């Protein structure tokens, strides 16, 4: 008998695929290929005969269209890409993952047997209350579960199997990509959009059930260089300009209500992630995030004003800012093809859910693909609290994600007949 969605997910979750943001290699860790190689075989088993890992450690595969020539949508259905990433979050261990299956969940705190006394508490996870009776999967508390994004990987394979087992269920060309290094923002650095050959795509890498995300942050990096003046500290009066102190003061002068720790939903932030230096020179790297171009500019103006203030306060110090563009909100790139999101909402409805639209407080591979000309919103995979040792995912939500994918590919066929109501 064919492997179940649960068994498949658990098999993938056990494989260590943590990425490493300090690595200079690509992919950042070789062990991601342990899973990628398995996925080549699993895709072939599901009937995607051309499955292969490319030179940049992406696994690509095709399920060719099966529409008969007499079908009104024959040759008209765009190639739809389905993407998921194999790596797990670089800050939390993914070694020796021991998935725990909590069947018929009773609504109480979920014990994590690897850490005695530790639990996923209902008080911390409001979503859990609605999951009574479901089958919930967690780690043992010592590692990530890795449902971000192995749930997406398992769901895509399960959806492909269902097409394989029902050859009468018609679909257009489907392209699949499993990619490395999404968590460190390098997943699509080498991704060959042309070779992928999809007209539209979806990452299956979102969270809460029924949600499609068509917005991401826009992102810049500001590199700060403070130049001071070093002299012997015993004879420094009126001469020394200490770059370390200037940089500290500059960073602390940035508005405290505009940092990740105190912002949510659609609020942008300034986030200093590194600071190092000495008396003569000190450097910092500040992430700038907002949903709009104006918001980014406001935050960058705030930094410029703070730099001018620091130079006035510390005569002789120079505070130079260099802004580098990272990525942009995918909304604009997707706006040219609104049906990509509408069809997904229809698919979510057909799966019996109420579609929700979300904005991601971060970037996704889809944001970069969208800016490369491939509109790629992000569909839910069901995983909750995903960058933590206390991540959890209901099997029934994974099942809904699989159903949604099936309906989504149906909708693309139905709306591609070229007649009235046809999309494309």
**What CA–CA distance (Å, rounded) separates 308 from 314?**
10
When the beta carbons of 19 and 416 are compared against Zn ion, the nearer one is 19
Binding residues with Zn ion: total (CB under 5 A): 3
> How many residues in the chain?
424
**Catalytic machinery residues:** 87, 182
The residue (of 171 and 289) whose beta carbon lies closer to Zn ion is 289
Residue 176 or 296: the one with the smaller Cβ distance to Zn ion is 176
Q: Kindly tell me which of 297 and 387 has the beta carbon lying closer to Zn ion.
A: 387
Residues 6+ apart with CB under 8 A from 64: 173
Shortest gap between Cβ of 313 and Zn ion (angstroms)?
Answer: 42
Taking the complex as a whole, the smallest distance from the CB of residue 329 to Zn ion amounts, in Å, to 18
Q: Would you say 148 or 346 has its CB closer to Zn ion?
A: 148
- Which lies closer to Zn ion via its Cβ, residue 216 or residue 416? 216
Strand order in the sheet with 80-85: 52-53, 59-63, 174-179, 80-85, 200-206, 378-380, 211-216, 356-360
Kindly state whether residue 87 participates in binding Zn ion, applying the rule CB under 5 A: no
DSSP reduced 3-state for 59? strand
User: What's the closest the beta carbon of residue 88 comes to Zn ion, in angstroms?
Assistant: 9
Site for Zn ion in 190-209 (CB under 5 A): 205
Q: Which is nearer to Zn ion, 42 or 149 (CB)?
A: 149
Give just the sign of the alpha carbon dihedral 74, 76, 77, 79: positive
Tell me the torsion sign for CA atoms 190, 195, 201, 202.
negative
Nearest-approach distance from CB 321 to Zn ion, in angstroms: 31
By C-beta, is 213 or 249 nearer to Zn ion? 213
Residues 127-166 vs Zn ion: string with x where CB under 5 A?
---------------------xx-----------------
In the 3-class helix/strand/coil scheme, how is the chain assigned residue by residue? CCCCHHHHHHHHHCCCCECCCCCCCCCCCCCHHHHHHHHHHHHHHCCCCCCEECCCCCEEEEECCCCCCCCCCCCCCCCEEEEEECCECCCCCCCCCCCEEECCCCCCCEECCCCCCCEECCCCCHHHHHHCCCCEEECCCCCCCCHHHHHHHHHHHHHHHHHHHCCCCCCCCEEEEEECCCCCCCCCCCCCHHHHCCCEEEEEEECCCCEEEEEECEEEEEEEEEECECCCHHHCCCCCECHHHHHHHHHHHCCHHHCHHHCCCCCCEEEEEEEEECCCEEEEEEEEEECCHHHHHHHHHHHHHHHHHHHHHCCCCEEEEEEEEEECCCHHHHHCCCHHHHHHHHHHHHCCCCCEEEEECCCCHHHHHHHCCCCCCEEECCCECCCCCCCEEEHHHHHHHHHHHHHHHHHHHHCCCCCCCCCC
The residue ranges that bind Zn ion (CB under 5 A) are 148-149, 205
């Amino acid at each position: 008998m064919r492997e179940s969605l649960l068994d498949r997910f658990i098999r993938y979750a056990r494989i260590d695929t943590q990425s490493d943001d300090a690595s200079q290699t690509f992919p950042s860790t070789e062990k991601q290929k342990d899973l990628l190689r398995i996925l080549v075989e699993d895709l072939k088993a599901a009937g995607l005969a051309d499955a292969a890992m490319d030179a940049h450690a992406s696994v690509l595969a095709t399920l060719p269209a099966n529409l008969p020539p007499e079908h009104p949508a024959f040759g008209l259905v765009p190639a739809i890409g389905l993407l998921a990433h194999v790596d797990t979050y670089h800050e939390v261990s993914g070694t020796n993952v021991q998935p725990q299956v909590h069947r018929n969940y009773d609504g109480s705190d979920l014990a994590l047997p690897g850490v005695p006394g530790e639990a996923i508490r209902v008080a911390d996870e409001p979503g859990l209350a609605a999951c009574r009776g479901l089958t919930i999967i967690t780690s043992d508390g010592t590692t990530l579960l890795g449902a971000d994004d192995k749930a997406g990987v398992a769901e895509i394979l399960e959806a492909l199997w269902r097409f394989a087992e029902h050859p009468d269920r018609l679909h257009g060309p489907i392209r699949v990509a499993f990619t490395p290094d999404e968590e460190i923002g390098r997943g699509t650095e080498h991704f060959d959009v042309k070779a992928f050959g999809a007209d539209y795509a979806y990452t299956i890498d979102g969270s809460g059930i029924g949600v499609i995300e068509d917005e991401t942050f826009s992102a810049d990096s500001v590199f700060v260089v403070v130049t001071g003046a070093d002299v012997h500290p015993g004879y420094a009066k009126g001469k020394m300009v200490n770059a370390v102190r200037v940089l500290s003061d500059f960073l602390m002068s940035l508005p405290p209500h505009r940092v990740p720790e105190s912002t949510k939903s659609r609020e942008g932030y300034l986030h200093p992630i590194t600071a190092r230096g000495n008396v003569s020179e000190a450097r910092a790297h500040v992430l700038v995030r907002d949903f709009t171009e104006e918001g980014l500019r406001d935050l960058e103006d705030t930094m410029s004003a703070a730099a001018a203030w620091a130079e006035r306060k510390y005569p002789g110090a120079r505070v130079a800012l260099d802004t580098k563009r990272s990525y942009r909100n995918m909304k604009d790139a997707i706006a040219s093809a609104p049906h990509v999101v509408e069809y997904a909402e229809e698919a979510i409805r057909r799966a019996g859910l109420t579609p929700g639209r979300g904005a991601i407080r971060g970037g996704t591979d889809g944001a970069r693909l969208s800016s490369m000309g491939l509109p790629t919103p992000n569909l839910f995979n069901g995983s909750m609290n995903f960058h933590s040792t206390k991540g959890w995912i209901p099997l029934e939500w994974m099942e809904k994600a699989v159903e949604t994918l099936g309906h989504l590919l149906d909708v693309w066929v139905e709306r591609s007949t070229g007649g009235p109501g046809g999309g494309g």
